[in-house]
């Protein structure tokens, strides 16, 4: 039985980790870390866990935690893990970090987009970017996993095969992404109030959202080019779900069958990626509560562009589900253990 500690267990991503791990046969949570709710019963913070989780919330003492567990999930604000990680901790336990601290290889890029100094750049190189479908083998031997962001997971996987195969002109790539509100976290801020979000829609972080360099770096590896994209996130009045609509000019004449074949080449054996046929538009509801990425596309001969579309549940494949998928790889378990979550509809 893998012993699990969570730091940041009372945010939405942390709560989803708990939900998923309750159904995992080989893991048990022994530390529900939450600085805001120390000593309160976890089930008093998330009442859905009443009579399921009896534990109280613990602090975020990662040194103490490292002695007790096999793996730590950090679902914490940017900068936290970088400020506390050290060789001693990594010698005792694996870490799957749901924050952005170790996602970006170029520390200057990190510091520029996140506006904070990176306190542990020495661990950046060894950290493995935990996009399992792309980096599966590297994940298996890692000590420190940088779990991808929600927008980035969806955006990268949707374009990855076509970027890798050189089908699309990377200079033309535009990612217009839409997210449910759980992505904004559980902080008590006026813009996240029900009455402000409900019956409303807006873009935010235009040309400046911090997931941009992460997408660029990964698609840069895939395409072998420096990639600079337009990325625009939007807030949608729903709890869960990300839909990424991506536009790129085609570099080659391709048919829908050929594009489908390329997607299948990369994803046919992937448990959690479902390639829909050409012209089938993914819907966020079809993946809700599950670890799936649904991908569709449409060729547009009029503009010589392709429109790629991907949908995920931001809290599952976009956060906690992928984190558990990484944990499974780290410990040699079946990759889908605990993740056989059937999407809930309606």
Active-site residue flag, 154: no
Between 15 and 33, CB nearer to its own copies: 15
Indicate which single residue of 11, 149, 282, 318 sits in contact with its own copies (rule: CB under 8 A): 282
- The window from 60-68, 72-80, 109-117, 192-200 that contacts its own copies (CB under 8 A) reads 192-200
What tokens does 313 get?
Answer: 């549940």
Cβ-count burial of 77 within 10 angstroms (0-12 exposed, 13-18 middle, 19+ buried)? middle
Residues of this chain, 12-51, that bind its own copies according to CB under 8 A: 12, 15, 19, 22-23, 46-51
Between 89 and 299, CB nearer to its own copies: 299
DSSP annotation of 55: P
Residues of this chain, 291-320, that bind its own copies according to CB under 8 A: 294, 298-300, 302-303, 305, 307, 309, 311
Between 68 and 336, CB nearer to its own copies: 336
User: Do the Cβ atoms of 143 and 89 come closer than 8 Å?
Assistant: no
C-beta atoms surrounding 295 within 10 Å: 25
Selecting among 150, 154, 195, 281, the annotated active-site residue is 150
Indicate which single residue of 60, 133, 165, 288 sits in contact with its own copies (rule: CB under 8 A): 288
Q: Is 137 in the site for its own copies (CB under 8 A)?
A: no
Indicate which single residue of 92, 281, 336, 337 sits in contact with its own copies (rule: CB under 8 A): 281
CB of 293 to its own copies, least distance (A): 12
Rounded CA separation 128/261 (Å): 29
User: Do the Cβ atoms of 37 and 60 come closer than 8 Å?
Assistant: no
Between 19 and 118, CB nearer to its own copies: 19
Indicate which single residue of 25, 28, 38, 52 sits in contact with its own copies (rule: CB under 8 A): 52
- The window from 110-118, 119-127, 129-137, 177-185 that contacts its own copies (CB under 8 A) reads 177-185
CB of 344 to its own copies, least distance (A): 6
Rounded CA separation 325/263 (Å): 21
User: Do the Cβ atoms of 142 and 128 come closer than 8 Å?
Assistant: yes
What tokens does 296 get?
Answer: 């569709």
- The window from 68-76, 116-124, 282-290, 328-336 that contacts its own copies (CB under 8 A) reads 282-290
Indicate which single residue of 199, 253, 269, 332 sits in contact with its own copies (rule: CB under 8 A): 199
Phi, psi of 178 (to 5 degrees): -130, 135
The string of DSSP letters for 125-180 reads: TT-EE--HHHHHHHHHT-SEEEPPPHHHHHHHHHHHHHHHTT-B-GGG-EEEEEE-
What tokens does 57 get?
Answer: 């919330």
Between 237 and 334, CB nearer to its own copies: 237
Q: Is 203 in the site for its own copies (CB under 8 A)?
A: yes
**Residue 12 CA from chain centroid, whole number:** 13
Do β-strands 128-129 and 202-203 pair in parallel, antiparallel, or remain unpaired? Answer: unpaired
What tokens does 35 get?
Answer: 């600085």
Rounded CA separation 329/323 (Å): 10
Q: Is 127 in the site for its own copies (CB under 8 A)?
A: no
By annotation, the residues acting in catalysis are 150
């Amino acid at each position: 039985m893998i012993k699990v500690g969570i730091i940041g267990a009372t945010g939405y991503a942390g709560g989803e980790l708990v939900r998923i791990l309750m159904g995992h046969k080989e893991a048990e949570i022994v530390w529900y870390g939450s600085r805001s709710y120390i000593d309160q019963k976890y089930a008093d913070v998330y009442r859905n866990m009443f009579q399921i989780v009896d534990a109280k919330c613990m602090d975020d003492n990662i040194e103490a935690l490292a002695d007790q567990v096999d793996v730590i999930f950090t679902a914490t604000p940017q900068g936290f893990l970088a400020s506390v990680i050290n060789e001693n901790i990594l010698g005792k336990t694996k870490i799957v970090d749901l924050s952005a601290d170790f996602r970006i290889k170029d520390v200057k890029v990190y510091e520029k987009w996140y506006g904070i100094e990176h306190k542990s750049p020495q661990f950046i190189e060894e950290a493995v970017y935990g996009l399992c479908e792309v980096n599966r083998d590297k994940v298996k031997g890692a000590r420190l996993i940088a779990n991808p962001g929600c927008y980035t997971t969806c955006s990268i996987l949707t374009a990855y095969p076509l970027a890798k195969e050189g089908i699309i002109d990377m200079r033309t790539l535009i990612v217009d992404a839409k997210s449910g509100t759980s992505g904004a976290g559980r902080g008590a801020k006026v813009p996240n109030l029900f009455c402000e979000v409900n019956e409303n829609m807006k873009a935010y972080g235009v040309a400046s959202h911090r997931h941009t360099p992460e997408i660029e770096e990964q698609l840069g590896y895939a395409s072998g080019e420096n990639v600079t994209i337009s990325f625009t996130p939007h807030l949608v009045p729903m709890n869960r779900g990300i839909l990424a609509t991506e536009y790129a000019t085609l570099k080659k004449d391709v048919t829908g069958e050929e594009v489908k074949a390329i997607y299948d080449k990369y994803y046919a054996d992937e448990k959690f990626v479902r390639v829909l046929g050409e012209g089938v538009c993914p819907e966020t509801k079809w993946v809700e509560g599950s670890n799936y990425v649904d991908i569709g596309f449409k060729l547009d001969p009029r503009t010589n562009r392709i429109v790629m579309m991907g949908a995920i549940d931001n809290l599952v494949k976009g956060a906690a589900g992928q984190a558990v998928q990484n944990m499974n790889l780290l410990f040699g378990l079946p990759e889908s253990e605990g993740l056989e979550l059937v999407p809930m509809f309606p």
